[in-house]
Structure 1
Amino acid sequence: MTHLDLAVPVELLAKALVDIPSVSGNEDRIADAVEAALTPLVHLEVTRLGNAIVARTHLGRPERVVIAGHLDTVPIKGNVPSEWSADGDLVGRGAVDMKAGVAVQLSLAAALTAPTRDITWVFYDQEEVEADRNGLGRIARERPDLVAGDFAVLCEPTQGVIEGGCNGTMRAEVRVHGKAAHSARAWKGLNAVHRAAPLLAVLAEHEPETFTVDGLDYREGVNAVRISGGIAGNVIPDECIVTLNYRFAPRWTLAEAQSRLEALVASSGIDGYDLVYTDLSGAARPGLDAPLAASFAESVARTGVAAPRAKQGWTDVARFGELGIPAVNYGPGDPELAHADDERCPVIEIHQCRAGLEAWLTS
């Protein structure tokens, strides 16, 4: 079993984590290492559910915060084991998304034996794959008591800036129907690919909106991300499938966002189609109006980083939102480098995030 020393400098702990391969669905080794490192800590109650580990203090504090991070990564592409760049960045798969953040969690979980708030540390599996496999979702379904709290921080990469809430996301297949025929007698059929053209025109001309929610600006987007149709080079297609992805602001409920997407499709004027949703993930409001969020923002501001901003992508803060727990994103690393072949995280950001969380949890 791989041994994790939680007392080493946090950047070395991050390197050790990157060096443990943990592609989604294969987190056994890293989960074993995290469980083994946390179990001897007498101030924590450690529970394991599959390849997810929850470690909790029970100090009788009036507030409980949940601090979570996922253990898995996207597939490795020659970037494990990790290395240090010439300018001192940690380079390797998961350095940004999100083992530097997990290292901050583990380092603080070991060091903070008497925080001013009770803490639930969550380390979960399968975040980078289908939503129904997500380890945090599994905990919420099977043991919601383990993730109950007054406020949550998800240590996703944000360059050490608090990012409130998140956009929602949905994917839908618009199936446009036609009639098959031999292409030599095309007039006998009805070309479904051609019939989808008005929808593509509406999407191309659509100008995404930006909505301000609780003081943060969320930019929306609706895009065709895939199109398919036809079975042979001499057959008029009788079906064309246009896959849409709608990223929507937390101004809207899931049902409202669906109505907005359906109205946009209908505005194209096409008929003879079906719309089938293949993925639905709600948005999360910023959560910055919660008292604990305000105190957290004050502590982070002392590290000299920028003011809170909106999270433009979807993250698991939405799962906390569904549980009625205000949540924000906060962690080291540039999210635009997540999943890149040269994924890298500056050591200074790892230290800043650790300092920001420690200051808040001990104030």
Structure 2
Amino acid sequence: MSASMSEPADVSLDEARQLLTDLVSIPSPTGEERKAAERLVAFFELHDREAWIDEVGNVRAPADDSVLLTSHVDTVPGEIPVEVQTADEDDVDAEVADETGEDVLWGRGSVDATGPLAAMAVAAVRTGVSFVGVVGEETNSRGARHLVADREEPDAVINGEPSGATGITLGYRGFLAGTYVATSESGHTSRPEPNAIQHATEWWTSVEDAFENDEYQAVFERVTAKPVDMDGGISDDGLSVEATLDVQLRIPPSLDAESVRETAEAELEIGTVSWAEPIPPVMESPRTEVARAFRVAIRNEGGDPRLLRKTGTSDMNLYAGTWDCPMVTYGPGNSELDHAPDERLSLSEYDQSVKVLERVATTLSGGEE
């Protein structure tokens, strides 16, 4: 059942908040997670927990595998001055004070997903359950991909992303990324024949039309198609026009990556498109033992549970695609502040989420509540 057993240990409120502040204060954009990972290892070792950084950079702290708490260490780039703004400060932002009435931590990653990461680390130490901090979630999820290939399946998974202290995320759309490439002969721009840049834009317009949705259909149930980068122009030798178009498609649980890819390729007449490894959609049942444990824990902490479906994609998609165990995603923070220039987290919400996670982990590991 467990990779190794660890005794629960006490973590004070001040120490829990300090861990959060320290991690937010350490820049950890994708590819630069090492220092934040070392801070996490030090936290576990301080509480007599075995922890190490594996070959891809993940923080591993195995223990009772009744539940695995896991979130990502990396953040998107962007510097936001790290500060704790107290509710009773004279210059406190009125909008923030109205929103929380509590102390607020500002900084990149405070919401996505260093807040959930720190909350899970604290809850893991307090309850003696397994923990992993993964790397690379904001780009190619290399940490999660390595984890599912390298680790045995736990009994349950709680993935860390902002849902708010009362939100339980059960579903995410899948993800498919592709790169279109076309080349055409160069010629005078007065000629009517389309060049490679036009071929690229015509293909993508056709793809968007193929996935046209009913405006009354929920976004979660749609395929959304987005171009994310384009490069084109005369080649270095001046003999051709070249075009490269990077695209992303989000996949609802009613479809799979193969069918979405086939639809996009059916619109392809000129040029080629190569696809990255897809991430499948996921939709978990609200009736699993994990979801039930969260509803009870949130109510016991004075909250009203909310079941959520997210239009984006997370590492939970990969876990669900490989491991056949119940799972949800949970964590403090307003997801509307993901990647935002005003990213911030209510510290009282962080405290509440730690207590919820502690209750859930205790329930799933067979402890008393």
User: Does the TM-score normalized on the shorter chain lie above 0.5?
Assistant: yes
Question: What corresponds to 1:357 in structure 2?
Answer: 357
Going from structure 1 to structure 2, the CA distance change for 1:243 and 1:36 (only over 3 Å counts) comes to closer
Corresponding residue SS for 2:312: coil
**Residue from 92, 109, 113 that aligns with 1:94:** 109
Return the alpha-carbon distance in structure 1 between the equivalents of residues 354 and 108 of structure 2. 21
Aligned match of 1:275 in 264, 273, 276? Answer: 273
SS in 1 for 2:185: coil
Q: When the two structures are superposed, what TM-score results if normalisation uses the length of structure 2?
A: 0.78
TM-fit CA distance, 1:333: 0.9
* Pairing partner for 1:18 from 7, 19, 24: 24
Compared with structure 1, are the counterparts of its residues 154 and 81 closer, same or farther at alpha carbon in structure 2 (3 Å cutoff)?
A: same
Supply the distance in 1 between the matched residues of 2:11 and 2:289 (Cα, whole angstroms): 31
1:135 CA displacement: 2.1
Deviations 1:201-247 (A, max 9, x none): 4356553369999xx95443112333333217xx7964433332110
2:283 maps to amino acid: R
Separation in 2, partners of 1:164, 1:92: 27
Supply the distance in 1 between the matched residues of 2:250 and 2:223 (Cα, whole angstroms).
Answer: 5
**Is 2:174 aligned against 1:168?**
yes
Q: Contact 1:179–1:190 (CA<8 Å) still a contact in 2? A: no
Does structure 2 conserve the Cα–Cα contact (< 8 Å) formed by 1:158 and 1:331?
Answer: yes
Contact in 2 for aligned 1:165/1:327 (Cα 8 Å)? no
Percent identity over paired residues: 23
Question: After superposition, what is the alpha-carbon deviation per residue over 1:267-312, rounded to whole angstroms, capped at 9, x for unaligned?
Answer: xxxx223222145222223253433333333333444244211121
Residue 116 of structure 1 is matched in structure 2 by none
* Structure 2 residue matching 1:23: 3-state secondary structure: coil
Q: Deviations over 1:113-132 (max 9, x none)?
A: 5xxxxx2111222322333x
Paired position in structure 2 for 1:66 = 68
Give the Å deviation of 1:80. Answer: 4.2
The structural deviation recorded for 1:345 is: 0.9
Residue deviations 1:177-222 (CA, integer Å, cap 9, x gap): 53322336x26x6523334454344356553369999xx9544311
SS at match of 2:147: helix
Q: Tell me if 1:31 matches 2:37.
A: yes
- In 1, Cα distance between equivalents of 2:318 and 2:205: 35
Return closer, same or farther for 1:262/1:298 CA change in 2, 3 Å cut-off. Answer: farther
Query: Could you say which residue in structure 2 is the equivalent of 1:104?
Result: 119
Unaligned runs of 5+ in 1: 114-118
RMSD: 3.2
1:38: how far off?
A: 1.0
CA contact (8 A) 1:221 1:248 kept: yes
Kept after mapping to 1: 8 A contact 2:23/2:39? no
Confirm or deny: 8 A CA contact 2:168 2:308 kept in the other structure.
yes
Match of 1:123 among 116, 129, 133: 133
Q: Tell me if the contact between 1:70 and 1:127 (Cα under 8 Å) persists in the aligned partners.
A: yes
Question: What code does the residue aligned with 1:151 have?
Answer: A
Could you say which residue in structure 1 is the equivalent of 2:196?
192
**Could you say what secondary structure the match of 2:332 adopts?**
coil
Q: Indicate how the Cα distance of structure 1 residues 281 and 103 shifts in structure 2: closer, same or farther if over 3 A, else same.
A: same
- 8 Å CA contact 1:167–1:311 kept in 2: the answer is yes
Q: Which moved more, 1:201-210 or 1:15-24?
A: 201-210
Quick one: structure 1 residues 257 and 307, their matched pair in 2 at CA, closer, same or farther if it must change by over 3 Å? Answer: same
Cα 1:76–1:245 change in 2 (3 A) is closer
Name the aligned partner's letter for residue 281 of structure 1: I
The whole-number CA distance in structure 2 between the counterparts of 1:183 and 1:127 is 43
Task: Return closer, same or farther for 1:41/1:15 CA change in 2, 3 Å cut-off.
Answer: closer
Partner of 1:81: 82
SS of residue in 2 equivalent to 1:281: coil
> Residue type matched to 1:136 in 2?
A
- Give yes or no for contact 1:192–1:239 (8 Å, CA) kept in 2: yes
Structure 2 counterpart of 1:144: 151
Letter in 1 for 2:360: W
Q: CA deviation at 1:53?
A: 2.1
Name the CA shift for 1:8/1:359 in 2 (closer, same or farther; >3 Å).
closer
- Cα 1:66/1:83, change in 2 over 3 Å: same
- The aligned residue for residue 309 of structure 1 is 308
Q: CA deviation at 1:24?
A: 2.5
1:254 aligns with 2:257: yes
